[in-house]
Structure 1
Amino acid sequence: MIDNLIQSGQPFRSRAQPRRWWLLAVAVLGLDVSSKAAISTLMPYGESIPLTGFFNLVHVWNTGAAFSFLANAGGWQRYFFIALAFGVSIWLTLELRKPRPALEVVAYSLILGGALGNAVDRLLRGHVVDHLDFHLGGLHWPAFNVADIGIVCGALLMVLTSRRGHC
């Protein structure tokens, strides 16, 4: 379906139905918060459970941003990232009230849900819980979570659609 929208050459405009798009963001947020709660409750910090030859379920914390950027900055980064996430979330919430191309509002919704998921973690725990660990041939991708998936997929969708002239 997404591929058809991208290839159609006509940017389908979503009607201003922000509730539908906010629900997508809430779904990402809910999945993120519940998965982090399950990991925090069921797995001791630092534990790793191999599930396949390339994937582990882990319980690690990140006090920084992507790839642990600013993780050792002394604590101020927690409040910076919380403020940034809420600022971006307010902007995205307002933007979702406007008619936009369908893929753009999907991207905004995914980013909104992810930003709120990591902000909630920072508010409640002081760090972000990461639990998805992929590796191959001794190389590990940094552990991440559902919120990160929402943010990255939303950003990639925005890049993909903007390169095709649909955003």
Structure 2
Amino acid sequence: MTPARLGFLVAVLTLALDQATKLWLYFVAEITTWTEPVALTPFMSLTLVWNRGISYGLFQQSSETGRWALIVLSFAAAVGLSVWLARSAHQVVAVGLGLLIGGAVGNAIDRLLYGAVLDFVHLHAGSFSWYVFNVADAAIVAGVGLLLYDSFVLERRRSAAPRG
């Protein structure tokens, strides 16, 4: 499988998993009616947070203009990343880009449908509380991590390898 095909497959699978979890929580588990978080483990619970900003709740938008700006930005980023993916020659880069694309489109769909992104995974330990996130957010973080790994580790190995 070419890197581009692999990356686009990862994007589609990421988008499908993201939307499936959100749709199940919204329509089947009816997370909007829960009055308390649901503990899955001592350090992880399910709780509903509507994020009107970007990652980690930055740049919260309360207007329709801001909402639409984030939607346009998300889709523009997905298009730009797709062009990069189509030209990618390395599988790690392709997977990273696929995760970013799937995550960006997943969160953009939420903004289109609900006006905000549905976040639901809450990690915590004792009094420490981490952000509430979703599958798309996790995919975006993993995608950035893979691109950084490729850039700082694998690219150096490729550059140092003897050419034959």
Q: TM-score range by the shorter chain?
A: 0.7 to 0.9
Secondary structure of the structure 2 residue equivalent to 1:100: coil
1:18 aligns with 2:4: yes
Q: Once the 2 structures are TM-superposed, how far is the Cα of residue 47 of structure 1 from its aligned partner?
A: 4.0
Separation in 2 of the partners of 1:44 and 1:115? 22
Report the CA distance shift for 1:23/1:89 in structure 2 as closer, same or farther (over 3 A): same
CA deviation digits over 1:35-64, x for unaligned, max 9? 011111213426410111100011221111
When the two structures are superposed, what TM-score results if normalisation uses the length of structure 2? 0.85
1:71 aligns with 2:60: yes
1:156 maps to which residue? 145
Is 67-76 or 48-57 further displaced after alignment? 67-76
When the two structures are superposed, what TM-score results if normalisation uses the length of structure 1? 0.84
2:90 maps to which residue? 101
Identify the match of residue 88 of structure 1 among 77, 82, 91. 77
Secondary structure of the structure 2 residue equivalent to 1:129: strand
1:54 maps to which residue? 43
Is 99-108 or 41-50 further displaced after alignment? 41-50
Separation in 2 of the partners of 1:99 and 1:128? 29
- Consecutive unaligned residues of structure 2, counting only runs of 5 or more, are 157-164
Separation in 1 of the partners of 2:94 and 2:31? 38
Structure richer in helix, relative to its length: 2
Checking the alignment, whether the CA contact within 8 Å between 1:86 and 1:119 is kept in structure 2 is yes
- Consecutive unaligned residues of structure 1, counting only runs of 5 or more, are 1-13
Q: Once the 2 structures are TM-superposed, how far is the Cα of residue 110 of structure 1 from its aligned partner?
A: 0.6
2:162 maps to which residue? none
Q: 1:134 corresponds to which letter in structure 2?
A: L
Identify the match of residue 33 of structure 1 among 19, 41, 48. 19
Separation in 1 of the partners of 2:31 and 2:4? 39
Q: 1:21 corresponds to which letter in structure 2?
A: G
Q: Once the 2 structures are TM-superposed, how far is the Cα of residue 20 of structure 1 from its aligned partner?
A: 3.1
RMSD across aligned positions (CA): 1.9
Percent of aligned pairs with the same amino acid: 33
Secondary structure of the structure 2 residue equivalent to 1:141: strand
Secondary structure of the structure 1 residue equivalent to 2:53: coil
Is 72-81 or 121-130 further displaced after alignment? 72-81
Separation in 2 of the partners of 1:164 and 1:18? 21
Q: Once the 2 structures are TM-superposed, how far is the Cα of residue 87 of structure 1 from its aligned partner?
A: 0.6
